[in-house]
Structure 1
């Protein structure tokens, strides 16, 4: 890894949350440090990812199943299902916010976690935790609100760098399954990257055969970072 003016730490092995029977380790950027301008974008290109205050890259000694993936947004063309998703949500209003209503966001965030990820470790997220998650400690952060009238239906928390946008976290009303709001949130981030003239939208990690991560490869073409280089991922 190229030398950077930051410290890095290797986590202790822990059970892998994705693949039973395996252990996971990660390289962490010093959580107390504020990265220099532009640094986080370079880390994205190197396969790092942000989760709240933590910037990390999986570095498991006996496994390379986690593949960082990104969408080359200027080459992306929505598939049939994604075009239907866009039509179903044409009545939503997209708004960029700098100072969100934290209580409104947190209420939707908790509804989403209770329905989609109960017991996933984020159940006790407080107002301060959420404010920290959307802070601009490492880079610019864009909050995309999707509203039906005044009702908040979805939020996409997007990291903004010159090297790419990163879909850090999206959450949405769990009682509107027909709208496919998770897909719509990614489509809106692709559109925003195009508007800004940014080449890639990073989607974090993908594991072949993982049902929970399969949605990422429905956005095509898609690239993965394998053996230190970004290359197209061939899909059947």
Structure 2
């Protein structure tokens, strides 16, 4: 157990929020000079921290608490009818665990995804440097779970292993395969991977009720959220 009181943290200046209009956001980072490890990462995940590249962070906004850490309690997860349909639709895909590193094949899919799905976002335009700095890490236990159809790469789930679960860092996929719902498939597969590894939680990042592209996480029940220092069940809001 790390003495977290010895860690230093740095807060960014206020900037425009990426999720809610007319809001200012600020982020708390663990000192980049600190010695980071999967064990420390696991401890900080319990406090709502996430990984981006080699950095650990969490939202730290003065006048807003909309970004709420969320995780799926996988032992009690029951797929919904839509989830079962998506799993059946994608039964032809083969999933392999691969090293978290840059390759031309991976970057090509990543760049296509960013260009097609996030052309108006902070990650546009994509670059090789961005791919490496955002998705890979020197100290974390990170893997790329690659979904392929007859050898053709269709989706990648970037996943960190923690002591009490997996952390779904990011997913990118073939933006032209609309009918497959590959983003949903990747989350379902990571939940199943937690079950296979006997890990109790899949960490999903931040649930933001007011933001449609982040509120979807309540479809994966039971979902626990971190409020007032404790993990509590989020009531099921239905399909």
**TM-score, with normalisation over the residues of structure 2?**
0.92
Q: Which runs of 5+ in 1 are unaligned?
A: none
SS at match of 1:178: helix
Aligned residue pair count: 235
Moved more, 144-153 or 112-121: 112-121
Q: Are 1:45 and 2:85 matched, yes or no?
A: no
Q: Does the 8 Å CA contact 2:158/2:171 hold for their aligned counterparts?
A: yes
Deviation at 1:99, TM superposition (A): 6.0
**1:23 equivalent in structure 2:** 24
**1:212 equivalent in structure 2:** 213
Q: Does the 8 Å CA contact 2:51/2:169 hold for their aligned counterparts?
A: yes
SS at match of 2:184: helix
State the Cα deviation string for residues 115-153 of structure 1 (Å, max 9, x = none): 111132223443343233343434200210000011000
**2:195 equivalent in structure 1:** 194
Q: Does the 8 Å CA contact 1:113/1:123 hold for their aligned counterparts?
A: yes
CA–CA separation in structure 2 for the residues paired with 1:14 and 1:81:
37
- The 5 Å alignment of 1:1-236 reads 3-98=4-99, 102-236=103-237
CA–CA separation in structure 2 for the residues paired with 1:159 and 1:221:
21
SS at match of 2:4: coil
Deviation at 1:50, TM superposition (A): 1.3
Deviation at 1:31, TM superposition (A): 2.8
Q: Which runs of 5+ in 2 are unaligned?
A: none
**TM-score, with normalisation over the residues of structure 1?**
0.93
Q: Which runs of 4+ in 1 moved over 3 A?
A: none
Q: Name the Cα RMSD after superposition.
A: 1.7
State the Cα deviation string for residues 99-127 of structure 1 (Å, max 9, x = none): 65611111000111111111322234433
SS at match of 2:44: helix
Moved more, 174-183 or 56-65: 56-65
Deviation at 1:214, TM superposition (A): 2.5
CA–CA separation in structure 2 for the residues paired with 1:81 and 1:26:
35
State the Cα deviation string for residues 36-87 of structure 1 (Å, max 9, x = none): 4400011111001112233111111111111110001111010000000000
